[in-house]
Amino acid sequence: MVTEQPFLLNQRVRKSAPFEHCSPLVRPCGYRPGAMDSPQRVVLDIDSTEIPVYGNQEQSAYNGHFESTCFHPLLLFNREGDCLAAKLRPGNVHSADDWEELLLPEIARQQKHGKEVVVRADAAFAKPEIYEALEERGVNYAIRIPANENLERDIAELLPRPVGRPSIRPLVEYKSFLYQAAS
């Protein structure tokens, strides 16, 4: 499903000008009213992606993380992979920029329907202002914490690879510990 979304966004870019009319692209991205997670709960996944461009397309920009000239859209999906909202952005913006423009209206919409909302996101969204906004709205969340020295020290015994040939199946280990960020 994710691979189809950049195509949809690229088609919109070619058909409309100027750039500001392209964003936010809300709901036309495969939205289906019946594609809700459950009667009581919805899981929202927010993420950005790269759409490489070739030539001098308006608002495209070089992104050092992706090492390409691109657009860097922000996407919001439900647990089934249905795109609920999207915003086309220049290639040089941070992955989490404009998160509130996509995420907060969808949280309000889901809560208006009486749903419990849970948000999942990667480490780019590990920001105190995002945590605070979600907690103010009673939203549970699972946001990956960026790697740092303290975390790596706490899991150091899990990091070395076992001696010998790698196994056919991935080696997955878990460890439980308390962690509080310094921020």
Share of the chain above pLDDT 70, in %: 77
Identify whether the C-beta of residue 35 lies closer than 8 Å to the C-beta of residue 77.
no
Burial string for 62-100 (b: 16+ CB within 10 Å, else e) reads ebeeeeebbbbbbbbbbbeebbbbbbbbbbbbebbbbbe
Three-class SS of 92-111: CCCCCCCHHHHHHHHHHHHH
pTM of the model: 0.69
CATH architecture of the domain covering 4-158: 2-Layer Sandwich (3.30)
Per-residue pLDDT tens over the stretch 26-44:
444 444 444 444 679 999 9
* Domain residue ranges of the chain, discontinuous segments joined by +: 4-158
Tens-digit pLDDT profile for residues 47-60: 999 889 888 888 88
> Which residues make Cβ contacts (< 8 Å) with residue 39, sequence separation at least 6?
none
Report the pLDDT value the prediction gives residue 87, as an integer from 0 to 100. Answer: 93
